């Protein structure tokens, strides 16, 4: 498909108003190495003025010059109107479309801006700057594959542009093509070793690959070249957090925040500070900062479709109808449900709790909170923004207050002591627990039944560093006398075959259950097992929330431990954490020893 057709199709998708339903990404601090450039920067405006001066159509040239002046004065609305006036005279003026695109981008009207950039590129195919600006917007809207093609187009015209190389590397990195991204950066760094932005972007790639020590070296080099490069300092803090170096990570984050003025960047850094404080045990301050995830200026914000008053920590919930939107990953929805019993008590018998959760969780949540109304949320992309609604709510006028599910943590879980010693907060179906106990006794191999989980469904490069390679499970799987049961959802045929062929261990597959979609059955099965063992994912959270014996393998700096050596969300769960990042062999040996002693 041609570059023009790819952009055209993507612009049309945005123009429809919404795309297919999506799963909202967890709000988390991410490495900051984004595409650079500003279509309204002084240098860009100087180029625009030069281009406008060459426009021969006397009728539109004055309008275009005034539009450039309006953009320079940061008056996006006036610039838009002047560009439109020029287009009314000459709808084939590529420069007018280009100026309209810049003005609408400055006004945060990304839908119109995308379409205007696309029209400008069609009319000005030799203007590589248009492709670069359109690439930046496509990148911002999550259209990374389109951005790659546009940046390639720009870099072909300006092969020595270090900004072009940086932009292309960022987009390629976000597609998970790490070696290709490094291949883009290496010649750019060789030619421009004094450009801190290139070292920073290289550091983000290494960080996502899990090579945190090397990433820190590159972030530090970026800071040596430019001590005021706050994104690099923020990134170094994130890498240090992953290594468990929480105090120095917080120092980096605070310094980065102090020097950053852009609202979206400040919100991302505030979110990082939130995670750091929660991981250090200062969870009250952490939850307060965690509200950055729902600020409209946050780049990855999820907008919730309701016009009802938003809950605040001081609100009296007694007798109120309180609507809660599940948010982020499925495991997060389960984790944050820890406080739902407290909220149910707070609204009291005269109040009502409405909970919107991921569709697969409805039976489990409805059984666990029989006095609440539980339904499925629906999430869409609208003009490049993530929007979540609750279509099952028939009459919103009866809703007194609403909140994203994690927000009430600010009131109900401000300290570790506020976590109750409750053996469970979700309730598996007792009849199905009995059923699965029978199946395990009759069909599974002899021995204690231990369910295994070794990865997440979403296991991209950035997340894979939190899970050990399957080869490290060998010592655990060879524990004598254990009957291992597969709880791993998703495609795991390769690992099951490896366990059988290389380790000589048959991991038993429970019959007649979809481990990905039938989560109510998964809850019952986990409660029928003698133990659920694995990394933190949706299933291990469900098992622990239902009170099942659960062992969770954690990582240094994990915020869910709240500064402790356990997970206060799940008092009965046992946590195994390696001393150093990626030291899987040692901790898996400890798990194997503990397993042999347990049964």
Per-residue pLDDT reduced to its tens digit, 454-487: 986 554 445 455 566 888 899 999 999 999 999 9
Report which secondary-structure segment, H or E, holds 82.
helix 76-89
Question: What are the C-alpha distances in Å from 73 to residues 53, 55, 64, 572?
Answer: 19, 22, 14, 61
Whether the full predicted model's pTM is greater than 0.85, yes or no, is no
What whole-number distance in Å separates Cα of residue 220 and Cα of residue 54?
45
Report which secondary-structure segment, H or E, holds 526.
helix 519-528
The secondary structure of 22-71 as a DSSP string is -PPPP------------TTSHHHHHHHHHHHHT---TTTHHHHHHHHHHH
412 or 34, greater pLDDT: 412
Per-residue pLDDT reduced to its tens digit, 502-543: 999 999 999 999 999 999 999 999 999 999 999 999 999 999
What whole-number distance in Å separates Cα of residue 588 and Cα of residue 30?
28
The torsion of the CA quartet 74, 80, 86, 88, rounded to 10 degrees, works out to -170
Q: Of 190, 251, 256, 265, which is closest to residue 226 (Cα–Cα)?
A: 256
Q: Of 26, 13, 581, which is closest to residue 331 (Cα–Cα)?
A: 26
State which of 130-134, 150-154, 351-355 shows the largest mean pLDDT.
351-355
Q: How many CB atoms lie within 10 A of CB 5?
A: 9
Per-residue pLDDT reduced to its tens digit, 148-169: 988 998 999 899 999 999 999 9
383 or 279, greater pLDDT: 279
Per-residue pLDDT reduced to its tens digit, 60-107: 888 988 888 888 888 989 989 998 998 999 898 888 888 888 888 888
Strand order in the sheet with 574-576: 483-486, 449-453, 531-535, 550-553, 574-576
* Strand bridging mode 385-389 / 378-382: antiparallel
In this predicted structure, which of 11-15, 36-40, 72-76, 318-322 has the lowest mean pLDDT? 11-15
């Amino acid at each position: 498909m041609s570059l023009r057709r790819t952009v055209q199709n993507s612009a049309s998708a945005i123009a429809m108003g919404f795309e297919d339903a999506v799963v909202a990404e967890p709000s988390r601090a991410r490495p900051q190495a984004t595409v650079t450039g500003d279509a309204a920067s002084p240098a860009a405006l100087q180029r625009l003025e030069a281009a406008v001066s060459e426009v021969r159509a006397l009728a539109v040239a004055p309008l275009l010059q005034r539009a450039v002046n309006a953009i320079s004065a940061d008056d996006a609305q006036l610039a838009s109107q002047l560009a439109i006036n020029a287009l009314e005279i000459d709808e084939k003026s590529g420069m007018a479309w280009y100026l309209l695109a810049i003005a609408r981008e400055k006004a945060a009207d990304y839908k119109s801006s995308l379409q205007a950039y696309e029209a400008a590129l069609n009319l000005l195919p030799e203007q590589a700057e248009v492709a670069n600006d359109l690439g930046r917007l496509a990148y911002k809207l999550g259209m990374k594959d389109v951005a790659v093609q546009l940046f390639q187009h720009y870099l072909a015209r300006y092969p020595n542009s270090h900004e072009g190389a940086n932009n292309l590397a960022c987009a390629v990195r976000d597609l998970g093509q790490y070696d290709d991204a490094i291949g883009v950066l290496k010649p750019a760094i060789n030619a421009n070793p004094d450009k801190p932005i290139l070292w920073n972007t290289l550091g983000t790639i290494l960080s996502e690959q899990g090579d945190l020590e090397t990433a820190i070296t590159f972030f530090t080099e970026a800071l040596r070249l430019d001590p005021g490069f706050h994104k690099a300092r923020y990134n170094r803090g994130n890498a240090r957090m992953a290594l468990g170096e929480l105090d120095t990570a917080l120092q980096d984050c605070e310094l980065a925040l102090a020097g950053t003025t852009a609202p979206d960047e400040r919100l991302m850094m505030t979110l990082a500070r939130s995670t750091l404080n929660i991981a250090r045990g200062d969870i009250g301050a952490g939850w307060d900062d965690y509200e950055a995830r729902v600020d409209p200026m946050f780049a990855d914000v999820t907008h919730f479709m309701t016009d009802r008053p938003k809950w605040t920590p001081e609100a009296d919930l007694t007798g109120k109808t309180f609507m809660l939107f599940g948010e982020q990953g499925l495991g997060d929805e389960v984790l944050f449900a820890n406080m739902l019993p407290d909220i149910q008590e707070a609204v009291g018998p005269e109040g009502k709790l409405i909970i919107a959760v991921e569709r697969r969780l409805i039976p489990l949540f409805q059984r666990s909170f029989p006095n609440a109304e539980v339904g499925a949320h629906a999430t869409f992309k609208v003009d490049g923004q993530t929007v979540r609604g609750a279509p099952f709510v028939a009459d919103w006028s009866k809703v007194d207050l609403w909140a994203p599910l994690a927000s009430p943590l600010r009131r109900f879980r401000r300290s570790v002591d506020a976590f109750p010693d409750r053996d469970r907060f979700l309730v598996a179906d007792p009849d199905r627990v009995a059923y699965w106990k029978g199946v395990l006794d009759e069909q599974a191999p002899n021995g204690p039944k231990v369910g295994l989980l070794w990865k997440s469904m979403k296991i991209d490069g950035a997340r894979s560093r939190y899970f050990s390679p399957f080869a490290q499970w060998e010592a655990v799987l060879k524990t004598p006398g254990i009957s291992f049961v597969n709880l791993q959802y998703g495609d795991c045929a390769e690992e099951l075959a490896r366990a059988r062929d290389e380790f000589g261990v048959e991991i038993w597959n429970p019959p007649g259950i979809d481990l990905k979609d039938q989560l109510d059955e998964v809850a019952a099965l986990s409660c029928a097992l003698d133990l659920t063992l694995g990394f933190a994912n949706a299933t291990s959270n469900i098992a622990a929330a239902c009170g099942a014996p659960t062992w969770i393998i954690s990582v240094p700096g994990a915020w869910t431990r709240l500064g402790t050596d356990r997970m206060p969300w799940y008092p009965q769960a046992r946590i195994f954490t390696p001393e150093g990042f990626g030291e899987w062999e040692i901790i898996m040996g400890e798990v194997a020893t503990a397993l042999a002693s347990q049964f």
